[in-house]
Structure 1
């Protein structure tokens, strides 16, 4: 299914049927047996509707595997940035806000486990969208704490909070920053670092910094993905979610909201956007009735 900093992910089937399991083959794990098992058992105890359930693990000197339930239809990253416009076209604003809410609920649940409970690697490729594309699961939670080395991925990922220096010690506030980048990614349709047309592919622009620069220049309408930019009736909700994404990606950690607060605010945005969409649909059906002369 994919390769990442923590290892390679495989889809598994039983007797040739539909996919039922996801197997994560970990790399660069140097924890002793007992410590690895204790940490994995703690991860397996996490049960939430927006987290893939960790069902089993395997540990040997040569191989470390984690086995999860198979969930979702694909990653948010593939829907937003994959080849072809079909996936993008079906993600209207309300669907994107619902995906953000589902992911926020999963991360907030992890954070309620205490100060040492963090996801550690929030990015759109770790947000698995469900089949109806209006909900999501947050994958790869806690894997950074299983790694034996403190080395960070390359700087260019765009999700990492500026204060993070050790991939194994990501705070709640650093998770919030990463989540905020995902929110901005949902709204803009842009990758967290993207190449400018005239830079020859040599560099990129940090998404959070770019959004701030556009808003400061009062060109806010230019921020939004063209797929959702002209949606009627939800302009206010789009602006509220944009403001939240910017607050989450504040440079100073103390200025970022908590994930509980983020979840509550997105829940209200989704409720208001859904209400407006329902009203628009009802109003439109009335206006389309046959008019007798």
Structure 2
């Protein structure tokens, strides 16, 4: 009985601490200290996407890959040092996450209008939001007030509970998201981010050659891009959404229903399991997808943020001050 009480008390205290940390995030955090923040970030993101539409997906992915490794703290932006192996070369990030130079440009522009004020972690959140909206997706008010980590973790980025690999089945995906406080609804909605962007042949080769839950003509079309032998064409790219790869919309879910998903993990969301109904909802109701995606992004942005006096405000996102 005493042990049970202690366990409940610990859970209660952890809940208070997490809630307190997240409560410090607010949509008006920089209203007085950096009133030009949003137009400054937006201008750089717009220019980057105008030069390369794929960059919008890359900036969104940077935020996702940051939050899923030890929380939303910009640890994935840190370069390696003689005493620290960062996250950029971890398996889920190597040759996958990109756009670091755009974040550098945003940080430089923000430092000119309000030096030493805005964290790199918050810049990632704003850039992700702007990328979605610029590519015709929904708009929302992003919560801010995060601070930056002073270290990164190669081991955490490589862990089985880090970024879900493209080979994941549905139960593994749900478990991974639940471990970060995200629901199955958050999972399905956030994976809708794959309505933009591309994937490397190495990531989708097993699905197009080995799986049976894939449209044969779609598989053959991608086999022309991705040879069957490992190592040959690993870096070749194909769109995650074959219909509208540079527009943020709900066609990704239509592709799932048609068994035209590029990744095994994506098709798991519509494969006779518990998330099938959600996928069908997003197919028939794009407004429901937009609403749930916004909720999912806000929930993801609440994963273990550093706030208050924790961490620091980096002046260069690639290194600690």
Same fold (TM over 0.5): no
Structure having the larger proportion of residues in helix: 2
Question: What TM-score, normalized by structure 1, do the two folds share?
Answer: 0.29
Question: What TM-score, normalized by structure 2, do the two folds share?
Answer: 0.27
Structure having the larger proportion of residues in strand: 1
